[in-house]
Structure 1
Amino acid sequence: MGSREHWVSVADRLLDAVVPYATPGFAQYRLPGRASASGPDSDGLEGFARTFLLAAFRAAGDPGAAPGGLLERYAEGLTHGTDPGHEHAWQPIADGHQTIVEAASIALALHETRELLFDRLDPAVRERVVAWLGGIVGKRAWPCNWVLFKVIVEQFLANVGGPHDPAEIERHLADVEGWYVGDGWYTDGAGQNYDYYCGWAMHLYTLWWTRMSGADPGVYRERLRAFLESYRHLFAPDGAPMHQGRSLTYRMAAVAPLWLGAIFDATPLSPGATRLLAGRTLTHFERHGVPDADGLLSLGWHRPFLPVTQAYSGPASPYWAAKGFIGLLLGPGHPVWTEPADSADDSGDREDLTVAMPAPGWLLHRSGGVVRLLNHGSDGNDRDSSGDDPHYVKLAYSTHTAPETGPEGRAAGLDNSLTVIRPDGSTTRRRRIDRLMVVDRLAASRYFDGEVVVETASVVDGPWEVRVHRVAAPEGSHVRDGGHALAGDEPCGTRLDGLESRVSSGALVSSITGLHGWYGARVEARTGENAFGEHSATPYLVGEHPGGRALFASAVLLGWVEPATPPPAVEPVGDGFTWKDADGGRIEVRLGRTPGYVREHPSGERVTWTG
């Protein structure tokens, strides 16, 4: 699966499909779709820069096999895009502008194809390209992964004798250093911003800077290796990547860190496993119609779906998927393409697995053919903001579901949320996550919304996620706990049975069962609200809050396989619960002033944690 020939054929299809949308002279590619907040000229430059990145990977990895005329088109685009007198000339690079982002893709592509393209340009054109890129020096970049765009561009300029500021490069690398939190993880700027940008931006550009500058990649290499130890598990056995964070429309770019590990000898994976994991993800998207019938990448996930995008997303934004093709830089004879995947590579990721990830505040759970991310650390907010983006603040995400992000679903906030409905009808929102612990099979956090305090612990118990909630709220409030929203092309199946709410889409099942504190189970069905399909449904529980502090417990399930064990029977103990787990041992979870956790296995193994 995922042979080099397969990747090449998909890359060629993508590159061929955009040609009809090129402006005269190939300086811009104006693809169909909703314009970004930056406008059509910026979107057209984005179309050039991001497809140029893909073309560079395609050509540089095996120059003799590159399609005729491919790099020539981009050479022509460079000629006209940097000509101020041309009708479709590129906008000058400006403070905080999208041109900074696209300049980095152009610089990286030029570096990788320097002998094939840049060095062969007419000297006057080379000077114009250097002058346009040089406009980035001294410009303000947003304090996040954007600072690395400046690092890449200015390093390329340094290599070709262009204007650059070594102090800026050093300062921006220091910015990134301040965002490193351990275990290979960076937050994307200040705050708790953990998502795919850690891999396809922070790791990619720091390591690529060493490739361009000749600096020792040692520390960045070791960080990537540590990152991949856990990151490799964010993909389901069928190749579906985790659906969490922003810019999800970049899709296949999620596998960029896997290839990066092979390129920089910074991976715990064998060459065959790298190819297998990346290839599964490419095939996953192809099975779901990506690219589309015209060979284009739409703004969406499996289908066009604008709520999965951001205001900066334009018609060509999805072509940062090019980063997922970075493995093409490894030529046909590289072991990543030639070594077989052994049986462990092919079957090891199908077994049940729990991985504690303290750095981003996550607990990863693979069971029933699905990977779930239990989120107690990433809220997508920096120090000066307090949003409630459903791609960040939910209690859980998965490889086979998406949060409800249409206007109605986003406002309701049912799925994977513990919500308090106050007596006046207003609802709480989980905005800022205050971490409590990530250890063994448990992750816990709390959030505040006015006088309401919600503490939640998520515990992996066999196929179940057991949620323990300690909620402080006014008398007369009600409490809601939602499971995963399912979606598909047809309306979901639903079933209510006592305190169990269950929805199904095809063979995939999502359920939530009340274990303590609830009086009813409900289902909410919607249309047009979910990235995975037109029809969606969310199972959830409802309970009455007596005022003061109260305990609630629920069991959440998501998978293609029916569970072999029923949800546990919990017993309240002080500020938490204890129960017999699926292994026949005992689990105790305590929240409140001194949170704690105990897991006792029948073998005598004992894991304890006290806050």
Structure 2
Amino acid sequence: MRKSNYLWLLLVAVLLLPAQEMAAKKKKEKEVTDRELWAGVLYQMAAPVLSNMSEGKLQENMQVELSPTWDGRDKRVTYMECFGRLMAGLAPWLSLPDDDTAEGKQRRQLREWALKSYAQAVDPESQDYLLWRKEGQPLVDAAYVAESFLRGYDALWVPLDSLTKRRYIEEFTQLRRVDPPYTNWLLFSSTVECFLRKAGAKSDAYRIVSALRKVEEWYVGDGFYSDGPGFAFDYYNSFVLHPMYVECLEVFTNSGKNKIWNAPDCNFQRAQKRMQRFGMILERFISPEGAFPVFGRSITYRTGTLQPLALLAWRGWLPKELSNGQVCAAMTAVINRMFGDNRNFNEKGFLTLGFNGSQPHISDWYTNNGSLYMASLAFLPLGLPADHPFWTDAPQAWTSKKAWGGEEFPKDHAYYE
């Protein structure tokens, strides 16, 4: 009896083996690629915002969260923060040509929603007309809207109708009413003005050049700028200073071909090198487990901390010390760790206050959950086509993974000019 049972079990095991192999093969076939992970997260982030705003229903339907220490300003700043910051991160991806892949269909849908949302944002008759003409905060997020146009000019600005374009130029121009504080805010003014310049509208050269001069003065060395006269160890070099300084210089100097006669120290190529150094530091910040150090204000901006690294990858500016394979692998580890378990979205699908999950008490007095769409700024490399080496090169261990794994890894050296 025992022998027959044994033979029966052996027969069942032999018969099940092909099925198990097939199941394992199917599982392997269904493994999500790095690009699919990135695209899936960014679509999840963007769809609730743009699907609603394209119909003029974002302000009606967004599940708004305000910091427990909110300073009492008009909470409608939330919607402009949400839209502007999201579009600055989304623009490169939406600039890719259409295709019939699953990703391409998602991208096409988002672009259609985005173009309608841009129109809603400046239509005084729309329920989603943004808060352009009250408070100082709109200068900040107008800069991210302008940055989205700079990053996706042909795909996002050119297709807009003439009335919508005229309305944007009017709204951007009237923001000169805001006197920016002596901090990274100077770059918000200069980014808006640089976009006006690119679009052929009348721009204020003084607001551009004075900001560039001041940021140049604030460079403290080894890839870091101070955010104003005093240095603070936070991620504002990521959120604002490096990207907007380089992008404004790119526009104003025609990618370094022209010099600024009254600001000769403001050099596009040198600013690039500083950002490359800062990108190398960010790459070393990423732990073997896909975590990064949590310090400084606005830490609720999550993956927005990686924006310079993302910008370097998207623009093809990675330094020789960083390969596509290692940067993609490192950033994928962070994105998967932060967004892989869905804890960072609230019941209606909008980002929730916190760093990794709902942690409202770590938010600052100026933070709402629209502010958090700065997280999209890590996804700029989606603007590279799927067959670009950033996506196709074999994954490589990043610096801290090599170091903690006992492998050889490159020594770090300070950057001097």
CA distance in 2, matches of 1:345, 1:177: 30
- 1:27 to partner: Cα distance: 6.7
Tell me whether 1:3 sits opposite 2:30 in the alignment: no
- Cα 1:136/1:291, change in 2 over 3 Å: same
Code of the residue aligned with 2:109 in structure 1: it is G
Tell me whether 1:91 sits opposite 2:142 in the alignment: no
Code of the residue aligned with 1:3 in structure 2: it is D
Code of the residue aligned with 1:56 in structure 2: it is A
Tell me whether 1:111 sits opposite 2:150 in the alignment: yes
TM-score, L = length of structure 2:
0.77
- 1:55 to partner: Cα distance: 3.4
- 1:4 to partner: Cα distance: 1.6
1:160-559 aligned at under 5 Å gives the runs: 160-213=199-252, 214-216=254-256, 217-262=268-313, 263-267=315-319, 268-287=321-340, 289-292=342-345, 294=347, 295-342=349-396, 347-351=401-405
CA distance in 2, matches of 1:55, 1:227: 22
Identify which of 22, 31, 34 aligns with 2:63: 31
CA distance in 2, matches of 1:191, 1:112: 30
- Cα 1:161/1:209, change in 2 over 3 Å: same
Code of the residue aligned with 2:141 in structure 1: it is E
Structure number having the greater strand percentage: 1
TM-score, L = length of structure 1:
0.54
Q: Does structure 2 conserve the Cα–Cα contact (< 8 Å) formed by 1:271 and 1:339? A: yes
Count of residues paired in the alignment: 358
Q: Does structure 2 conserve the Cα–Cα contact (< 8 Å) formed by 1:43 and 1:314? A: yes
In structure 1, the partner of 2:46 is 15
SS at match of 2:153: coil
| The 10-residue stretch of structure 1 (30-39 or 186-195) with the greater mean CA deviation from structure 2 | 30-39
Query: CA-to-partner distance for each residue in 1:190-226, whole Å, 9 max, x for gaps?
Result: 2121211112311111222244442323111111122
- Cα 1:342/1:276, change in 2 over 3 Å: closer
Tell me whether 1:44 sits opposite 2:79 in the alignment: yes
Code of the residue aligned with 1:283 in structure 2: it is N
- 1:172 to partner: Cα distance: 0.2
- Cα 1:19/1:226, change in 2 over 3 Å: closer
- Cα 1:101/1:81, change in 2 over 3 Å: same
In structure 2, the partner of 1:82 is 122
- 1:77 to partner: Cα distance: 2.6
Query: CA-to-partner distance for each residue in 1:294-350, whole Å, 9 max, x for gaps?
Result: 543211012211221111111211111011111112222222111113457684142
CA distance in 1, matches of 2:50, 2:156: 19
- Cα 1:342/1:246, change in 2 over 3 Å: same
CA distance in 2, matches of 1:144, 1:198: 12
- 1:148 to partner: Cα distance: 1.0
In structure 2, the partner of 1:73 is 113
In structure 1, the partner of 2:20 is none
Code of the residue aligned with 1:265 in structure 2: it is W
| The 10-residue stretch of structure 1 (214-223 or 16-25) with the greater mean CA deviation from structure 2 | 16-25
Code of the residue aligned with 1:180 in structure 2: it is Y
- 1:144 to partner: Cα distance: 1.3
CA distance in 1, matches of 2:379, 2:372: 13
Q: Does structure 1 conserve the Cα–Cα contact (< 8 Å) formed by 2:194 and 2:203? A: yes
| The 10-residue stretch of structure 1 (278-287 or 31-40) with the greater mean CA deviation from structure 2 | 31-40
- Cα 1:336/1:346, change in 2 over 3 Å: farther
CA distance in 1, matches of 2:169, 2:221: 37
- Cα 1:146/1:84, change in 2 over 3 Å: same
SS at match of 1:8: helix
SS at match of 2:176: coil
Q: Does structure 2 conserve the Cα–Cα contact (< 8 Å) formed by 1:27 and 1:80? A: no
CA distance in 2, matches of 1:138, 1:297: 31
How large is the RMSD of aligned CA atoms in angstroms? 2.9
| The 10-residue stretch of structure 1 (270-279 or 134-143) with the greater mean CA deviation from structure 2 | 134-143
SS at match of 1:136: helix
Tell me whether 1:53 sits opposite 2:92 in the alignment: no
- Cα 1:129/1:231, change in 2 over 3 Å: same
Structure number having the greater helix percentage: 2
SS at match of 1:315: coil
CA distance in 1, matches of 2:91, 2:142: 14
Query: CA-to-partner distance for each residue in 1:339-396, whole Å, 9 max, x for gaps?
Result: 113457684142589999999xxxxxxxxxxxxxxxxxxxxxxxxxxxxxxxxxxxxx
Q: Does structure 1 conserve the Cα–Cα contact (< 8 Å) formed by 2:54 and 2:117? A: no
Q: Does structure 2 conserve the Cα–Cα contact (< 8 Å) formed by 1:51 and 1:319? A: yes
- Cα 1:344/1:186, change in 2 over 3 Å: closer
- Cα 1:343/1:75, change in 2 over 3 Å: closer
- Cα 1:92/1:86, change in 2 over 3 Å: same
- 1:23 to partner: Cα distance: 8.4
SS at match of 2:40: helix
Q: Does structure 2 conserve the Cα–Cα contact (< 8 Å) formed by 1:233 and 1:349? A: no
CA distance in 2, matches of 1:192, 1:358: 18
Any stretches of 5+ residues in structure 1 without a counterpart?
A: 360-611
Flag the structure with larger Rg.
1
| The 10-residue stretch of structure 1 (284-293 or 138-147) with the greater mean CA deviation from structure 2 | 284-293
Any stretches of 5+ residues in structure 2 without a counterpart?
A: 1-31, 257-267
CA distance in 2, matches of 1:124, 1:175: 35
Q: Does structure 1 conserve the Cα–Cα contact (< 8 Å) formed by 2:328 and 2:391? A: yes
Q: Does structure 2 conserve the Cα–Cα contact (< 8 Å) formed by 1:199 and 1:257? A: yes
CA distance in 2, matches of 1:314, 1:23: 21
CA distance in 1, matches of 2:282, 2:398: 18
Query: CA-to-partner distance for each residue in 1:160-197, whole Å, 9 max, x for gaps?
Result: 12231112101001111111100011111121212111
Q: Does structure 2 conserve the Cα–Cα contact (< 8 Å) formed by 1:30 and 1:47? A: no
- 1:2 to partner: Cα distance: 6.8
Q: Does structure 2 conserve the Cα–Cα contact (< 8 Å) formed by 1:82 and 1:128? A: yes
In structure 2, the partner of 1:135 is 174
Q: Does structure 2 conserve the Cα–Cα contact (< 8 Å) formed by 1:275 and 1:336? A: yes
CA distance in 1, matches of 2:53, 2:285: 36
SS at match of 2:290: coil
CA distance in 1, matches of 2:227, 2:149: 26
